[in-house]
Amino acid sequence: MADKRKDKNEKGKNAPDATESGALSKREYENELARLHVELVKLQEWVVHTGAKVCIVFEGRDGAGKGGTIKAITERVSPRVFRVVALPAPTEREKSQMYMQRYLPHLPAAGEVVIFDRSWYNRAGVERVMGFCTQAQVDVFLKAVPLVERVMIDSGILLFKYWLEVSEEEQTRRLQSRINDERKTWKLTKMDLDSYSRWYDYSRARDDMFRATDTSASPWFVGRSNDKKRVRLNIISHLLDHIPYTAPPKEKVKLPKRQKDKGYTEPDHPFRFVAEKF
């Protein structure tokens, strides 16, 4: 494990320092992300080869950058291995179930990486702040969830919990951009607007959640997300550094020869081609 981390550090020794001032250039970001994508493909091959089970939880305020970070992780890997779970509001039936019940079927099986875009921690955050559950239910959840996560880990799941921390000013800027950009209006819901005014209620909820669930067995890792490019690179690097993966051996790929046409000719069919406007 130590040798592997050293090797990774050598590969990334020219990587941008997150503490440096100034924004990353587009070229710096894309070059580093491309390097990390190669490592994520190796991780994918290792997960499939070994039957590993990886579960990644992303939490944070609205506009903290969860979706963009998840997209950066998944854009070059297989959706059959890296599965993103973003559950809608619970149905009436689900509301009557044991709270964790609706999340359990989505946990990873062997050979899978499951990424939760918000998770069971909804109870400690949005449900608490917006009054969708009682304080007694929150207290029960915060007491029980470390035990549930301990069972998950004991079953062989590699569990990673990331909180994206965004400032008040940057959150305001991002939510305002959703209002002004028609490509982003779908991201802005009434819930987002209601939540926006409750900054300190969310801060108290976050603090209580960390006190109860930031354990040695299942810690929270916090990514400063005011700079979207840096937080994506930092979280992917952190994830790769904390999974003992190695690329499994594979044969060199070579394209085979194509078959001969054996008299085949192109048909006269009047194909309906897409209009070439560009």
The one-letter amino acid at 51: G
Give the pLDDT of the chain (278 residues) as one tens digit per residue: 444 444 444 433 444 444 445 789 999 999 999 999 999 999 999 999 999 999 999 999 999 999 999 999 999 999 999 999 999 999 999 999 999 999 999 999 999 999 999 999 999 999 999 999 999 999 999 999 999 999 999 999 999 999 999 999 999 999 988 888 888 887 777 787 888 899 999 999 999 999 999 999 999 999 999 999 999 999 999 999 999 999 888 889 999 999 999 999 999 999 999 999 99
Measured CA angle at 9 (ends 253, 6), to 5 deg? 90
